[in-house]
């Protein structure tokens, strides 16, 4: 798709992801055994022919840089376009890091102006989905919309989800959920297609008035004066807002229909290639209903769980309803249940870790239990 550039905001909801984002951005949050969340946004862009991509970071972005490097794994090491990563930009006036998307966009306006593309696709990084942006563009042009925002049908389980009320495709009302709502609504995915010039003028206008929130200060205010359309994403879209949604959305991927939506459509989700060996199942291995990445060594029990690359589960150990990230080690006769263990966590022999389904316990990166 010529004429469209992409912008990814690498940091959102970091405060609600607690321990999981102490060492990293939301964009580099590990997901589904071998991916990072940003892989979905990057792959969707690349698969739709969008190869001019800016990534705006706020803090702790070294894990993100390590993951994307020159963008080769997404075919983004280009002469024309490719990846531009923007390290945290300290705004001169306040000596503070940017607070919201308006400031973030303002901080990269030079980059946006320099790029030849006419349209911009803005995307948060906390979304896992597999979508063709060509269809979004076609709908946008057909409706002569000024902004097209992607939505999915779901129950808002967390606060501050953007509820979108549309007639036909035209957005009539926008508001944030305050408490969980029991019925399904169209919820914003924080992905927007907009003409670059319009975006820049809207952002400049609000920035000058000290506003920071793109949804509240731009979209809600402009409703009625510009045409905002919604585009319903029918295939599965996972939104990761906090530790609990991270856990729930991860576990959903054990469902074959959802994996089909995320990974087996026409488009491939790419990620950094690590050349791990295939996983070894030893004599005592017993693995049920689990997603297992390469490079694991399993001699114990794994049930309803996700193992990332290079995880070891020793003899007599049990992993149930848990997410064990890269290089985790679950040693002999230990037990891990309803837990998220971050990268390189060791659970020593005989220990038990257990959370609850509604409150999975998180073990921070590099810790030994």
If the CB atoms of residues 129 and 218 are measured against another protein, the closer one turns out to be 129
User: How near is the Cβ of 23 to another protein at its closest, in Å?
Assistant: 22
- Tokens for 196, please give them: 């670059």
User: How near is the Cβ of 291 to another protein at its closest, in Å?
Assistant: 5
Find the angle CA(124)-CA(341)-CA(256) to the nearest 5 degrees.
65
Buried b (16+ CB within 10 A) or exposed e, 213-241: bbbbbbbbbbeeeebbbbbebeebbbbbb
User: Is the Cα torsion angle 346, 37, 215, 175 positive or negative in sign?
Assistant: negative
User: How near is the Cβ of 272 to another protein at its closest, in Å?
Assistant: 10
User: How near is the Cβ of 39 to another protein at its closest, in Å?
Assistant: 10
Phi/psi of residue 58, nearest 5 degrees: -120, -45
Closest CA to 26 of 3, 60, 53, 51: 60
If the CB atoms of residues 228 and 323 are measured against another protein, the closer one turns out to be 323
Find the angle CA(206)-CA(207)-CA(213) to the nearest 5 degrees.
70
Which residues make up the interface to another protein (CB under 8 A)?
A: 32-35, 72, 254, 256, 259, 262-263, 268-271, 273, 275, 277-295, 297, 302, 306-307
User: How near is the Cβ of 358 to another protein at its closest, in Å?
Assistant: 23
User: How near is the Cβ of 67 to another protein at its closest, in Å?
Assistant: 15
If the CB atoms of residues 117 and 297 are measured against another protein, the closer one turns out to be 297
If the CB atoms of residues 182 and 273 are measured against another protein, the closer one turns out to be 273
- Tokens for 280, please give them: 């070894």
If the CB atoms of residues 4 and 32 are measured against another protein, the closer one turns out to be 32
User: How near is the Cβ of 148 to another protein at its closest, in Å?
Assistant: 29
If the CB atoms of residues 269 and 340 are measured against another protein, the closer one turns out to be 269
Alpha-carbon distance of 82 to 76, in angstroms, equals: 5
Alpha-carbon dihedral of residues 198, 201, 204, 207, nearest 10 degrees?
-60
Contact 281, 263 (CB under 8 A): no
Which residues lie closer than 8 Å to 307 by C-beta, 6 or more apart?
A: 33, 290, 291, 292, 293, 296, 298, 313, 319, 324, 328
Phi/psi of residue 302, nearest 5 degrees: -135, 125
If the CB atoms of residues 43 and 63 are measured against another protein, the closer one turns out to be 43
Contact 144, 224 (CB under 8 A): no
If the CB atoms of residues 75 and 117 are measured against another protein, the closer one turns out to be 75
User: How near is the Cβ of 287 to another protein at its closest, in Å?
Assistant: 4
């Amino acid at each position: 798709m010529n004429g469209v550039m992409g912008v990814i905001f690498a940091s959102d909801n970091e405060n609600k992801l607690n321990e999981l984002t102490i060492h990293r951005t939301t964009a580099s949050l590990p997901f589904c055994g071998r991916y990072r969340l940003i892989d979905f946004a990057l792959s969707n862009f690349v698969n739709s022919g969008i190869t001019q991509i800016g990534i705006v970071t706020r803090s702790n972005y070294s894990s993100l840089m390590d993951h994307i490097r020159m963008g080769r794994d997404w075919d983004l090491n280009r002469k024309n376009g490719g990846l531009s990563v923007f390290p945290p930009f300290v705004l001169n006036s306040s000596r503070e890091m940017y607070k919201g998307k308006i400031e973030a966009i303002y901080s990269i306006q030079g980059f946006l102006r320099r790029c030849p593309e006419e349209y911009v696709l803005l995307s948060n990084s906390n979304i896992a989905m597999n979508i063709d942006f060509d269809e979004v563009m076609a709908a946008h042009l057909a409706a002569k919309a000024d902004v097209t925002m992607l939505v999915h049908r779901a129950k808002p389980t967390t606060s501050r989800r953007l509820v979108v009320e549309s007639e036909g495709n035209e957005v009539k009302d926008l508001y944030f959920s305050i408490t969980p709502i029991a019925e399904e609504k169209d919820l914003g995915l924080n992905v927007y297609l907009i003409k670059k010039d319009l975006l820049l003028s809207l952002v400049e206008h609000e920035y000058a008035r000290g506003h920071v929130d793109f949804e509240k200060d731009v979209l809600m205010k402009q409703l009625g004066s510009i045409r905002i359309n919604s585009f319903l994403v029918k295939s599965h879209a996972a939104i990761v807002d906090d530790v609990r949604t991270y856990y729930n959305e991860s576990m959903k991927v054990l469902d074959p229909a959802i994996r089909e939506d995320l990974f087996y459509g026409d488009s491939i989700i790419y990620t950094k290639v690590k050349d791990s060996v295939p996983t070894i199942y030893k004599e005592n291995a017993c693995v049920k209903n689990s997603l297992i990445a390469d490079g694991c060594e399993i001699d114990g029990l794994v049930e309803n769980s996700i193992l990332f690359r290079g995880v070891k589960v020793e003899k007599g150990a049990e992993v149930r309803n848990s997410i064990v990230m890269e290089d985790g080690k679950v040693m002999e006769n230990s037990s891990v249940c309803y837990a998220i263990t971050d990268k390189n966590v060791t659970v020593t022999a005989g220990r038990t870790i257990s959370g609850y389904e509604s409150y999975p316990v998180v073990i921070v990166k590099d810790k030994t239990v």
